[in-house]
């Protein structure tokens, strides 16, 4: 067994124990899919797991929707030590079921989870159009990708040729084995390596080619360097330490920006324009010293981090590796010397606007996020403000609260907007950020999270989730935010989240009893099903009903009429 395969096996064992699964295949499935889809194992939605009879070799399907765009992650994860061409053929058949089969055929599937997830994919495609959807497929094993057979590669090529045909914004198929898994682990874990560099700059003593600025103890310089210098730094830093403070990893060719960067920097006729067309690269560091020796002009930088320009830097590095980066490509370089973390946060937030950002990582280093991380520890809970922040697995998984779920839970219950939590969660990091996080009561965040958490556990383990009644099954899978909202009010009898003494009593009750809310959750489910059964107009398009703020209001009206003291 290769050493990387041993590392993966060790990770599987730890996750199996950590999540109390007692099923190493399932542990690998969750682990592999979460790495591939870039999410925390603690935020994995059990309804994304479609593994079972008639799954057509598809194990997990996750859907992300954001402002008229969507990404569908599809994975097959096998705890095996090789890649099978037969499995790839079966995955191809599964993709046909997802994207090409008619509704009548899909309804014949006995695997309800797979059937329902296919319908979700089709609903998304119908709602925003296939040209706005990225489809990412992965075949994941503990094998070595370097040993993939020609037959496997032929089958993968066949899938790509069939589905990467401009129907979707982008379609990709990845074979992920032990080598790639360990690389992903290394790139996503917190790193502490310091990067020091001497960057050659363009300098002319006869023209103002270097700008220095000092203010209130802060120091900054603006200058020009060559694209090849940036490519050198990135290519030498094989683990990506220089991007630790960047809010997102390299986005590949997703969207048009990175394609344009690569094309412009490699085009002999337009490469000289790069300096004028690109926003440049922003670096924060512990110390910067410009050396203006006309024979060797450069900037000496200690502990540098590229906080804006990951896409530019990596695109240039790839162009250099491919031997197509032109010599006359120059880049604007902004370097800020500071140890002020608040300033670093502001630089990260205000300079990252070249590619559209929809990830929670944009806010991960905000002061309020760091404050919540400390505040949650008062109650022995761990606030996960970055995916895999607590990947050491020595912490009880029940005490790890991913900040995205904390935010959506608060939006659902305290702000009474379950429709937005279900369908527009990207807004929690923009439109609703201040309304959610302005609260000063950490107890309110913890209580709303626990209510949503217990609601999902209760519903996912109930008979409702596999009901033969289509309405009940749809509500169980797709209205868990709404159920949590109703269950909370039935239990608490109010929407007051400002009485700290009451909140502390309620939190104590929840911590002392995992089943305190069971009857309230069941009652909430029944109430929502009854609302639909008593109003046929709500059933015309259940998906749109659950997205509607008017349905939120309908729930509040029902609660105030029936459950207030």
Task: Identify the three-state secondary structure at position 366.
Answer: coil
Q: What is the pLDDT at residue 389?
A: 77
- Mean local confidence (pLDDT), 344-359: 58
Burial profile 152-161: b = 16 or more Cβ within 10 angstroms, e = fewer: beebbeebee
User: Over 60: is that where the pLDDT of 417 sits?
Assistant: yes
Domain parsing of the chain, residue ranges: 3-188, 197-357, 363-562
| 304 contacts: CB under 8 Å, gap ≥ 6 | 195, 196, 197, 242, 283, 284, 285, 335
Q: What pLDDT band is residue 92 in, cutting at 50, 70 and 90? A: very high
More confident residue, 388 or 144: 144
| Distance (Å, whole) CA 407 – CA 43 | 12
- Mean local confidence (pLDDT), 515-544: 94
Q: What pLDDT band is residue 440 in, cutting at 50, 70 and 90? A: confident
Q: Summarize pLDDT for 105-153 with one digit per residue, the tens.
A: 999 999 999 999 999 999 999 999 999 999 999 999 999 998 999 999 9
CA distances from 384 to 43, 105, 388, 399 (A): 10, 42, 8, 10
- Mean local confidence (pLDDT), 495-518: 93
Which parts of 198-357 fold into alpha helices (H)?
A: 227-236, 257-266, 274-277, 310-321, 341-351
User: Over 80: is that where the pLDDT of 302 sits?
Assistant: yes
CA distances from 548 to 223, 419, 553 (A): 51, 6, 9
| Distance (Å, whole) CA 386 – CA 565 | 40
| 194 contacts: CB under 8 Å, gap ≥ 6 | 302, 303
Phi, psi of 68 (to 5 degrees): 80, 10
- Mean local confidence (pLDDT), 52-72: 89
Q: What is the pLDDT at residue 345?
A: 66
| Distance (Å, whole) CA 487 – CA 528 | 10
Q: What pLDDT band is residue 358 in, cutting at 50, 70 and 90? A: very low
Q: What is the pTM of this model?
A: 0.67
Q: What is the pLDDT at residue 355?
A: 44
Do 342 and 260 meet the contact criterion of CB atoms below 8 Å apart?
no
| 46 contacts: CB under 8 Å, gap ≥ 6 | 456, 460
Q: What is the pLDDT at residue 350?
A: 66
- Mean local confidence (pLDDT), 487-505: 95
- DSSP codes joined into one string, 30-69: HHHHHHHHT--GGG--GGGB--STT-TT--EEEEEEETTE
Do 455 and 517 meet the contact criterion of CB atoms below 8 Å apart?
yes
Look at strands 218-226 and 330-337 and give their pairing: antiparallel
- Mean local confidence (pLDDT), 21-43: 92
Q: What tokens appear for 63 in the block?
A: 């859907």
| Distance (Å, whole) CA 557 – CA 119 | 31
Q: What is the pLDDT at residue 74?
A: 97
| Residue 540: Cβ-neighbour burial (10 angstroms; 0-12, 13-18, 19+) | exposed
Polymer length of the chain: 565
User: Over 90: is that where the pLDDT of 564 sits?
Assistant: no
177-186, 261-270, 300-309, 476-485: range with highest mean pLDDT: 476-485
| 517 contacts: CB under 8 Å, gap ≥ 6 | 451, 454, 455, 458, 487, 491, 510
Q: What is the pLDDT at residue 66?
A: 80
User: Over 90: is that where the pLDDT of 256 sits?
Assistant: no
| Distance (Å, whole) CA 229 – CA 246 | 19
Query: For residue 125, what is the enclosing H or E element?
Result: helix 112-128
Q: What is the pLDDT at residue 3?
A: 86
| Distance (Å, whole) CA 56 – CA 33 | 17
- Mean local confidence (pLDDT), 84-94: 95
- DSSP codes joined into one string, 367-432: HHHHHHHHHHGGGT-EEE-STTTTTT--S-GGGEEEHHHHHHHHHHHTS--HHHHHH-GGGGGTTT
User: Over 70: is that where the pLDDT of 354 sits?
Assistant: no
Q: What is the pLDDT at residue 81?
A: 94
User: Over 70: is that where the pLDDT of 178 sits?
Assistant: yes
Closest CA to 267 of 330, 226, 324, 332: 324
Bin 300: left if φ > 0, else alpha if -120 < ψ < 50, else beta: beta
Lowest mean pLDDT across 55-69, 232-246, 272-286: 232-246
Q: What tokens appear for 163 in the block?
A: 């589905």
Closest CA to 123 of 468, 548, 544: 544
User: Over 80: is that where the pLDDT of 40 sits?
Assistant: yes
Q: For Cα atoms 25, 28, 33, give the angle at the middle one, nearest 5 degrees.
A: 130
Do 200 and 229 meet the contact criterion of CB atoms below 8 Å apart?
yes
Give the residues across from 221 on adjacent strands. 212, 335
User: Over 80: is that where the pLDDT of 352 sits?
Assistant: no
| Distance (Å, whole) CA 453 – CA 438 | 22
- CATH number, domain 3-188, options 3.30.230, 3.90.660, 3.40.91, 1.10.3680: 3.40.91
Do 325 and 317 meet the contact criterion of CB atoms below 8 Å apart?
no
Q: What is the mean pLDDT of the chain?
A: 88
Q: What pLDDT band is residue 357 in, cutting at 50, 70 and 90? A: very low
Do 177 and 138 meet the contact criterion of CB atoms below 8 Å apart?
no
Give the residues across from 76 on adjacent strands. 139
| Distance (Å, whole) CA 51 – CA 504 | 40
Q: What is the pLDDT at residue 404?
A: 92
Q: What pLDDT band is residue 252 in, cutting at 50, 70 and 90? A: low
Phi, psi of 299 (to 5 degrees): -115, 130
User: Over 90: is that where the pLDDT of 31 sits?
Assistant: yes
- Mean local confidence (pLDDT), 44-69: 90
More confident residue, 100 or 350: 100
Measure the N-to-C terminal CA separation of the chain; round to a whole number of Å.
65
Q: For Cα atoms 154, 2, 249, give the angle at the middle one, nearest 5 degrees.
A: 70
Do 246 and 306 meet the contact criterion of CB atoms below 8 Å apart?
yes
Q: How many CB atoms lie within 10 A of CB 66?
A: 16
- Mean local confidence (pLDDT), 475-479: 94
Q: What is the pLDDT at residue 186?
A: 67
């Amino acid at each position: 067994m290769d050493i990387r395969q041993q590392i993966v096996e060790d990770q599987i064992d730890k996750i199996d124990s950590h999540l109390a699964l007692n099923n190493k295949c399932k542990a690998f499935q969750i682990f592999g899919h979460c790495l591939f889809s870039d999410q925390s194992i603690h935020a994995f939605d059990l309804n994304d797991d479609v593994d079972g009879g008639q799954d057509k070799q598809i194990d997990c399907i996750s859907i992300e929707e954001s402002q008229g765009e969507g990404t569908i992650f599809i994975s097959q994860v096998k705890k095996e030590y090789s890649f099978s061409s037969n499995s790839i053929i079966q995955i191809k058949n599964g993709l046909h079921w997802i994207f090409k089969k008619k509704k009548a055929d899909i309804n014949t599937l006995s695997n309800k989870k797979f059937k329902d997830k296919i319908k979700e994919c089709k609903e998304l495609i119908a709602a925003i159009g296939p040209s706005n959807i990225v489809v990412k497929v992965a075949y994941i094993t503990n094998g070595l990708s370097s040993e993939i057979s020609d037959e496997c590669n032929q089958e993968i090529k066949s899938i790509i040729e069939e589905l990467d045909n401009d129907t979707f914004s982008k379609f990709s198929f990845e074979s992920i084995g032990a080598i790639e898994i360990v690389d992903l682990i290394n790139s996503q874990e917190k790193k502490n390596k310091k990067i020091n560099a001497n960057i050659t700059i363009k300098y002319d003593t006869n023209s103002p080619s270097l700008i220095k600025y000092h203010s209130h103890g802060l120091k900054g310089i603006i200058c020009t360097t060559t694209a090849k210098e940036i490519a050198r730094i990135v290519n030498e830093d094989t683990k990506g330490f220089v991007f630790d403070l960047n809010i997102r990893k390299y986005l590949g060719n997703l969207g048009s920006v990175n394609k344009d960067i690569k094309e412009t920097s490699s085009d002999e006729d337009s490469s000289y324009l790069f300096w004028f067309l690109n926003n440049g690269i922003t670096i924060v560091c512990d110390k910067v010293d410009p050396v203006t020796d006309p024979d060797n002009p450069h900037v000496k930088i200690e502990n540098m981090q590229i906080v804006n320009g990951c896409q530019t830097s990596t695109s240039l590095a790839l162009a250099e590796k491919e031997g197509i980066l032109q010599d006359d490509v120059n880049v604007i370089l902004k370097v800020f010397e500071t140890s002020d973390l608040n300033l670093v946060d502001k630089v990260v937030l205000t300079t990252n606007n070249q590619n559209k950002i929809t990830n929670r990582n944009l806010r991960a280093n905000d002061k309020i996020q760091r404050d919540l991380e400390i505040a949650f520890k008062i109650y022995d809970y761990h606030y996960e403000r970055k995916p895999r922040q607590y990947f050491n697995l020595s912490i009880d998984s029940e005490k790890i609260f991913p900040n995205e779920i904390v935010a959506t839970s608060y939006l659902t219950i305290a702000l009474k907007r379950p429709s937005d939590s279900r369908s527009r969660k990207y807004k929690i990091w923009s439109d609703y950020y201040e309304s959610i996080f302005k609260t000063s009561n950490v107890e309110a965040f913890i209580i709303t999270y626990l209510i949503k958490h217990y609601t999902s556990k209760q519903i996912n383990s109930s008979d409702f989730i596999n009901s033969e009644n289509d309405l009940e099954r749809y509500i169980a899978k797709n209205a868990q935010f709404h159920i949590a909202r109703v269950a909370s009010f039935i239990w608490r009898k109010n929407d007051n989240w400002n009485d700290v003494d009451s909140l502390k009593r309620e939190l104590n009750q929840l911590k002392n009893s995992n089943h305190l809310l069971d009857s309230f959750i069941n009652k909430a489910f029944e109430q929502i099903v009854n609302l639909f059964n008593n109003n046929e107009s709500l059933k015309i398009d259940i998906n749109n009903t659950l997205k509607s703020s008017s349905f939120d209001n309908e729930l509040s009206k029902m609660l105030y009429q029936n459950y207030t003291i």
